[in-house]
Structure 1
Amino acid sequence: MRDDGDPRDELDALDELFEPFELDDPPVEGFDAPSPPPVAPPPPPAAAAPAAITCPSCGSPNPLTNHHCEQCGARLGKEPLPLAPPPTPGASPGMRALGMLAALVLVVALGALVLNTLRGGGDPAAETIPTSTTTTTQPPVVVELFPSSVVASSELPNLPAEHLIDGDTETYWNDDSLQGKGAWLKFRFSEPVSIKELRIHNLTNEEKFKRNFRIKGYSIRVDDLDTVITGRLDDTMDPQPIPIASLATTELTLEVLNTYPAQAYGDAEAYNELAVAEVRFFGTKR
């Protein structure tokens, strides 16, 4: 039987063959130790985002989503909005209006100067200067006009037509016993007059008024107009006005168209004559 020896001796031999591995031993020369894996550096801390945007114009805080300031309306940004340069004085609306007004005044003054020159006036500069004095044209004053003469179609010797313009209503004119048929009266003025009204006066004595014929229908002509004025008088002793609108009359003709009949007065018989006491004229002189 074989003697294999002591088993402890075999274990010691194995221990010498396999020495324990220790991390603290220095590295074997000629061999590099593996490098550790790279480690990423930690991210830098994020900057705290501002909670609001400050307006560069007024300094008011605004939400981040705003593009314009809620207080002043300015655009939100780093720089304040540039201000527009002030307009030049010549470009303002007031200056433009003043320039237009000055040009208009100049045109009016030149037009007045040219017009005055064409008319052959005196000193143009003196006439174009406005003054504070206002000239008011007064209407012409209506006055009584006196004919220079009167002619009748007929008359009685002691009751002539001149009694019609003597200013006395107690005197009167009679035609020559024709009862007023075809009677006419022609008044003349020494200078042209503008007649506004003619006034006929019948006799003022009641007996004579009724016993004579009186004018009823009439026609009037003036030498400066082609118009014929016709009308009818009332059978009264009151003065009766007739409107006239002549311009430059030197002759007026009154024609009798028909008459009121004469009447008996008590025991006195009616006359055959036409009677008129006075004819007066009112208007303006030329």
Structure 2
Amino acid sequence: MSGRGRAARLRERLSERDLGMLRDLARLRLLTGKQLRRLHFAVGDLTTQARKARSAIGRLAELDLVVRLSRRVGGMRAGSEGFVIGLSGWGHAVLALDSTAEPRRRRRVIETKPAFQSHVLAVSELYVQLVEASRLDLAELIDFTGEPEAWRRFGGIGGQAVVLKPDAFVRLGIGEFEVLAFIEQDMDTESLPTIVRKCEVYIAHWRSGLEQRQLGAYPKVWWLVPSVHRARSIRGALKRLAGEAQALFEVCLTTEAIPFLTQPLPEGGAS
């Protein structure tokens, strides 16, 4: 049986919820069992939710559509919800059946460094919280694009190709406003000069006008940080930027991201 034929046979065995779980893993790269439960099993009491999520993830693993990494988040007490889940090569192949575009080569998830996993899972957590906020009618989640789909390519001043690499692009509907945001999930691992250099790439992209022509406004760039000390440090670094460009950037604690992102900002990042 050809690879595409096997993928089609696997696809026939999946429910819409199964496919939704695979699509979220493709969008975000990694999710914990708990995050998958919150996304796709939010109805019923917590025990029932956990049992259904555990069963669904186990079935997808048996079909070789997802892989469960050895690392647990939250320690042994987290149980199966603490496992980190990724999409396998066959998972990608099943989702590729929906696309008429030339399939891109996708590698199955393999063991990665804890620092990388923590960063990816922090971005995934933002997505989960935005989905939960949309259920409470705090905002309509129009789009959430992770890496590398969220990256932007544009021409530099000398004509060279430049790639802007946000961790995510977010589009929210809040009342009559549409809020646009690039997300930079900071883990307090990069130096401040590195932060400034990345901001300068954002400024060059802003000055290119490409995003504004497509969306009508330039997204606000949100630096989500783990501590008040780190927030002060990054705000201080942003003061080194050109005055008119500083308004492109905002800094807030990761734990406060949802209240900030779900309020309209008419002065920037909204139309």
Shorter chain as denominator, the TM-score bin is: under 0.3
Normalization by structure 1: what TM-score? 0.20
Q: Looking at secondary structure, tell me which structure has more helix per residue.
A: 2
Normalization by structure 2: what TM-score? 0.21
